[in-house]
A and B are shown apart, each in its own frame.
Chain A
Amino acid sequence: MAETEPLTPGEIADILAGLEDAPVPERMARRAVNRWIEESRRERPRGRWATVLSFPGLRPALALAAAAALVVVIRGRLGDEAAPPIQTPKAAERAERADAPTLQNTTAQKAQGEKREARGKRLEERAEAKGAAGPGRAATAGSAPAPPAAGFADRPAAPLAERDVAPPARKVQAPESAPVPAVSERMALRAARTPEAPSADVAYLNRTEPLSRDLVKDSSVGDARLLQRITLAEDEIALADLAGKIGATTGVAIVLSEAIATEPLAVHCEDRPLREVMRQMGRALGIRWELSHQGDAIRYAARPIAEAEETRASDDSAARSAPAGLGGGMMRAGRAPAAMQADSSKRRDVETRNIIGSPERVRALRQGVAPPDAVQTEGWIIVR
């Protein structure tokens, strides 16, 4: 069979012309458009992401991812802003006890109690003398006027009426002295001097870096705010006023019982950690620092040791087993000022920067008259 030649385009066009004879259905485009509009109405317009996220298998994974992200965000915020308050109360109490270990010495407490009573009598006499002339000085920080000093003398000593001497309500009535520069400013200066190795507390005070977790979790510190360094130069200041001043400078709220709020105190120190200053205050005044939680905030309540002992049976037994006299651990650690006077003058200058105690005796010591019962410990001189 001979090979057939392909048809020409003209011949094919003739054959296929029959296709165009077929009637074309009407309005196919309009019907298609109507169908498309109906489809569009049935299906709500959805974005590409909405389509992807609507896949059923993805929903549990998305929920888990969202929960994990939420936890990370919350942890991050707590870590930056509320790190100190989230410490457990027990841990904070342990840290506070570690800060004032020598205050457990009940022999010293008894001696302190006796001295405090004597000091109270002196204050009463002074108040009576002032009461004849006019209204007495405010006993503690607060907006309410202070009761007359004579009334204060009649008041029972035991009840603890805590007064929050938080910074905003404070009005320092101590004698005018050189203004204490803000701690953050001094820390910033220190950081500027040694920018390559800023200490953790500098970073904390200046908020230039997030607070180190090691610093917050340090059990020996408890509250990182206590690491702030302060400088004090007070010849005579009521304990309440001093607490207010510390609170205004460091943000640490201190609560005092009325029994000790008006205790006069002289404090001279330079660039010392707040916890060290508070510990020496406790030694000088015979007070014990206790933690007081108010919501998320931690306050430090100062109680006279004798008063605190009434609520702590365990401390009573410890007091009975302690050696008599002033030979407590703290006192044994101290040195007599006579020995101190034998040291070089340079060393004495360094050591006498940190003094705390009775205003009259501190004044005498600074004038060169060493009180016989002054002790030296941890770079401080304590005169009661």
Chain B
Amino acid sequence: MHGVKAQHAADGQPEQTVSDKELMIRCRAGDRLALERLLTPYEKPLYHLCLGILRNAADAEDAVQETFLRAMRGLAGFRGEASVRTWLQRIAVNVCIEWKRSRKPTAPMEAAERMASTSPDLEETTIRHRLALDALGVLTEAQRAALILKDVQGLSVEEIAATMSWNAKKVENELYRARKALAVWRARTIEAEG
């Protein structure tokens, strides 16, 4: 169970660590502040996960919003068998896969354009970001999700299996195919650059 550092800046109280379990209890009681405290730490990893699957910044932001909404609607049904992180990641992957199937693909360059105005090292950052999105473009949505969860966010095979509702063998197979596909992509990219 992950802990969340909640700072009561407004109240002037000292920083204290509140567990997800305690926050869940308060959230079920209708505590709005507890909801924000519970969800805020997962904004960034969820956004990167959704961005990796959807390859579009605006869609990723909407997907994170939808993930949070679904989580709050299903708060009463969360039994605590999995961690809050796994629970939210599972929702996010489902949202992204649903959207990918139902929506027209959006140009991935939007994110790079938005990033250009904020990043100090514009050229290098833009190239890295574009490279990552291009690499993910050769994978399926499920492979993207598994790969990001494993190699970017550092989840174990078992955690990925729980998140994706797969068994461990399937996770390993999908990761192998994804890595092999990326190897092919890199080889082609190198060949194309000459």
Using CB atoms and an 8 Å cutoff, list the residues of chain A in contact with chain B: 4-9, 11-13, 15-25, 28-33, 35-37, 39
Contact = CB atoms under 8 A, between A and B. Distances in A.
A32 B39 contact: yes
A32 B180 contact: no
Given A13-B151, A15-B132, A36-B73, A22 B48 contact: yes
A18 B68 contact: no
A4 B133 contact: no
Q: Main SS of the interface on chain B?
A: helix
B43 A24 contact: yes
Contacts of A23: 114-115, 118-119
A19 B119 contact: no
Contacts of A12: 147, 151, 179, 182
A21 B130 CA distance: 10
A20 to B, nearest CB: 6
Contacts of A8: 179
B183 A6 contact: yes
Shortest 7 CB-CB distances between A and B: which pairs? A32-B68, A18-B132, A18-B128, A29-B39, A6-B179, A18-B129, A6-B180
Contact of B36 (A6, A7, A33): A33
Interface string B99-135: 0000000000001001100110000010111111101
B32 A33 contact: yes
Contact of B152 (A19, A31, A35): A19
Interface residues of B, number: 48
Nearest to B49: A19
Nearest to B184: A4
B72 A33 contact: yes
A19 B132 contact: yes
Nearest to B58: A25
Interface of A is mostly: helix
A7 B179 contact: yes
A5 B183 contact: yes
Interface string B149-182: 0111000000000000000000000001001101
Given A7-B183, A21-B115, A37 B32 contact: yes
Contact of A33 (B39, B118, B180): B39
21 contacts: A6-B179, A12-B151, A13-B152, A15-B186, A16-B132, A17-B128, A18-B125, A18-B130, A20-B152, A21-B115, A22-B51, A22-B115, A24-B44, A28-B43, A28-B47, A28-B65, A28-B68, A30-B40, A32-B68, A33-B35, A33-B39
Contacts of A22: 47-48, 51, 57, 111, 115, 129
Contacts of B64: 25, 28, 32
B180 A4 contact: yes
B187 interface: yes
B51 to A, nearest CB: 6
B84 interface: no
Contacts of B179: 6-9, 12
Nearest to A17: B128
B86 to A, nearest CB: 18
Contacts of A13: 151-152
Nearest to A39: B69
Contacts of A28: 43, 47, 61, 64-65, 68
A15 B131 contact: yes
A7 B39 CA distance: 34
B148 A16 contact: yes
B52 A16 contact: yes
A16 B151 contact: yes
B96 interface: no
Contacts of B39: 29, 32-33
A28 B39 CA distance: 9
Contacts of A29: 35-36, 39-40, 42-43, 68
Contacts of A5: 180, 183
B32 A32 contact: no
Nearest to A30: B36
Interface centre among A13, A23, A28, A39, by most B CB within 10 Å? A28
A24 B47 contact: yes
A312 to B, nearest CB: 80
Nearest to A37: B32
Nearest to A4: B183
Contacts of B36: 29-30, 33
Contacts of B133: 18-19
Interface string B57-91: 10001001100110011000000000000000000
B69 A35 contact: yes
A22 to B, nearest CB: 6
B176 to A, nearest CB: 6
A17 B61 contact: no
B136 interface: yes
Contact of A32 (B72, B135, B151, B184): B72
A21 B128 contact: yes
